Amino acid sequence: MALSADTPFRRALVIGSSGVGKSTFARKLATLKGFPVIHLDQLYWEPGWVIARPEVYRVRLERALAADTWVMDGNNSSTLDLRLPRADAVIWLDRPRWVCLARVLRRIAGSYGHVREDVAPGCPEQIDLECLRYVWTFHRKHYPRMTAALARHDALPRTAVLRSDREAQAFLDAAAVV
């Protein structure tokens, strides 16, 4: 995995577990590059945490992917086969599951009942045991799928794996001067 912050790109995916900091990182990177940020959760969810019909979600996603520049955050491994061919950079944020779980719990405590800017309107923050379970099992269940998708699309050479907040900040600092 060889992407560095000084590698030019126009479309970047930010992937990793819930609570890893994808949305925050994506917003910062998009601001630095002057690109729009696209949050998959805004495309995937309808008000009230209702999953969008697959055909609606696909149209939304394809429309977003068609743009010339973007930074897109979100996992949804079922759509990596659509997203990876359009991305010229992949930033994989990787933290221990206890860090991600603690961040999700802190996020819930800080914004419970409020709609965050990275989710769809009408989807207030809530306690979601399924989300907590997802975070806890992410490394075991989803890493193999994500790695396989990256390999299938020959995306490993354009992927940076950032394993700490310090590495993420260093990437952003370097990206700011490119």
Bigger pLDDT: 6 vs 13:
13
Strand pairing partners for 125?
A: 112
* Confidence (pLDDT) at 68: 98
- For tokens 């991305």, name the residue: 87
pLDDT at residue 5 in the model: 77
24-38 pLDDT, tens per residue?
999 999 999 999 999
Q: Where are the domains of the chain?
A: 11-176
Q: How confident is the model at residue 178 (pLDDT cuts 50, 70, 90)?
A: low
Residue 166 has pLDDT above 70, yes or no: yes
- CA separation for the pair 1, 7 (Å, rounded): 13
Parallel, antiparallel or unpaired: strands 159-162 and 89-93: parallel
Give the tens place of pLDDT for each residue, 65-79: 999 999 999 988 889
pLDDT at 52 over 80: yes
Residues 85-140 pLDDT 10s: 999 999 999 999 999 999 999 998 999 989 888 888 989 999 999 999 999 999 99
Overall CATH class of domain 11-176: alpha beta
Residue 105: count other Cβ atoms within 10 Å of its Cβ: 14
- Quick one: pLDDT at residue 41? 95
